[in-house]
Structure formats: structure tokens, C-alpha cells
């Protein structure tokens, strides 16, 4: 069981949106230290956070951050991008590759670098931020990257358990952040999602389903695909 109080946490993409809300919630729960990464560390605004420059697709950048965070016990892989590559047939292949580099390989690089640190510190926790689109292929390569990350998380959960590291996957629909500012749909408050995610970490949950849409879609995976994709029933 992981306790946030007195823990040392690294949050990727910790300067805005859900990442910023996670940093705030971590300090509310008594975290001893929170490293908040961003491409530009000057964008990290929490007064107590330790800002670090990180490009998750760059192995040298990841290695440098791991070297500067020898006390981490909890890793939150939150950084991600969406380039709007909704058509797997027509979107620029470079955009598809870039989304996979950031959303799948990025978390893997960071996890591989930080697992030895967490293990040396007696074990801890990994939280990966997924999406309802892990299970709903309506967003082209973004959906594919999140589905791949979900599978990565499930595999890591098995690999890391014997090493004293628990793994939680967070799934959620739209969150009211800069990334979704142009989308007209119901959105969850970032701080509410952050609280649910950390509740799951402290409870040792394998997965956190943060809204009704996500719970509905997850339940629908056991049914006929036409229930999730009505166009297939036409």
C-alpha cells in the first residue's frame, strides 16, 4: 500500500492541466517533495515543486532527470500529446510516429529510468495516465497510443510487483484543460480527477475509472462491438 504523505513524487508534464492538478493534490496530501517536469521548467508554477526540464522522447534528457531525482518513490507518467491525427489512412505518418514516441515510448523510457531508483528506495508506485480512448478507437493514432500504453501498464504491473512497485492506470474522458479547450463536450475538473487518481494509488487500485463515460465504455468491452460503435450496426 502506497501512502502519499512523506513520499517523493515525479510528475511528468507537471506544469499545466492534469499534471498541475496532480502536483497541487500531492502537496495537499503531504508529499515531502514533488518533482514537476516540463519541456520548459519555467512553466512550473507551484511554489514548492522542484521544476525539471524533461523531453520524454529523448533518452539523454530522461537519464539526466533520473540522475537528479535519487529519492523518488512514486512516478506519475502524465505527459502526452494529441496532434489530431484522427485518420490512420490520411494523417501525416510523422504525426502518428510523434504521438507514439510521446505517448507510448516516452512513459516507457521514463519508467525504465526510474524503476531502479524507486526500487533502491524500498519500492513504491507507478501511475500511468491513460484515457477512455484506450478502449474506444475513435481518435486515430491517439486512441492507438493510449491502447498501447494500457497494454504496457498491464505488462509492467506484472513485472514490477515482485520488485515492490505497485502500478495503477488512470482512465478518464475529457478533462477541462488547454488540450480540450476546443471541444464541446462534458468535461471533468482536473483537480477532481487528480484526487480520484491519488485515492486509487493509496488504495492500491489496479485501475481508476474517473467518470461515468469511462465506466460505461469499460463495461462495454465485454459486449458486442456494435454497442460501442453504432455505425457498425447500420
Catalytic amino acids? 142, 146
> What Å distances lie between residue 200 and 49, 102, 142, CA to CA?
22, 24, 25
Residue pair 203/4 in contact by the 8 Å Cβ criterion = no
**Which residues contact residue 229 at a Cβ distance below 8 angstroms, ignoring those fewer than 6 apart?**
138
Q: Which three cell numbers stand for residue 101?
A: 514516441
Residue 13 gets the label, from left (phi > 0), alpha (psi -120 to 50) or beta, of: left
Element containing residue 217 per DSSP (H, E): helix 212-220
* C-alpha–C-alpha distance, residues 213 and 158, integer Å: 27
Closest of 201, 143, 129, 204 to residue 172, by C-alpha: 129
Contact 188, 106 (CB under 8 A): no
What's the rounded Cα separation, in Å, for the pair 208 and 206? 7
Amino acid at each position: 500500500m502506497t501512502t502519499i504523505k512523506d513520499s517523493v513524487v515525479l510528475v511528468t508534464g507537471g506544469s499545466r492541466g492534469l499534471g498541475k492538478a496532480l502536483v497541487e493534490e500531492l502537496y495537499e496530501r503531504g508529499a515531502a517533495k514533488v518533482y514537476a517536469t516540463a519541456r520548459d521548467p519555467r512553466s512550473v508554477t507551484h511554489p514548492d515543486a522542484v521544476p525539471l526540464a524533461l523531453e520524454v522522447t529523448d533518452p539523454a534528457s530522461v537519464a539526466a532527470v533520473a540522475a537528479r531525482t535519487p529519492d523518488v518513490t512514486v512516478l506519475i507518467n502524465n505527459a502526452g500529446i494529441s496532434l489530431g491525427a484522427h485518420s490512420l489512412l490520411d494523417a501525416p505518418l510523422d504525426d502518428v510516429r510523434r504521438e507514439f514516441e510521446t505517448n507510448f515510448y516516452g512513459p516507457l523510457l521514463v519508467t525504465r529510468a526510474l524503476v531502479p531508483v524507486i526500487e533502491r528506495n524500498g519500492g513504491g508506485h507507478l501511475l500511468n495516465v491513460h484515457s477512455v480512448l484506450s478502449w474506444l478507437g475513435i481518435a486515430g493514432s491517439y486512441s492507438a497510443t493510449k491502447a498501447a500504453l494500457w497494454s504496457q501498464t498491464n505488462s509492467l504491473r506484472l513485472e514490477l510487483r515482485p520488485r515492490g512497485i505497485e502500478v495503477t492506470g488512470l482512465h478518464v474522458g475529457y478533462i477541462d484543460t488547454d488540450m480540450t479547450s476546443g471541444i464541446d463536450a462534458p468535461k471533468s475538473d482536473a483537480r477532481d480527477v487528480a484526487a480520484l487518481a491519488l485515492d486509487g494509488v493509496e488504495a492500491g487500485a489496479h485501475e481508476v475509472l474517473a467518470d461515468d463515460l469511462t465506466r460505461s465504455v469499460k463495461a462495454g468491452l465485454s459486449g458486442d462491438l456494435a454497442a460501442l460503435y453504432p455505425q457498425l450496426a447500420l
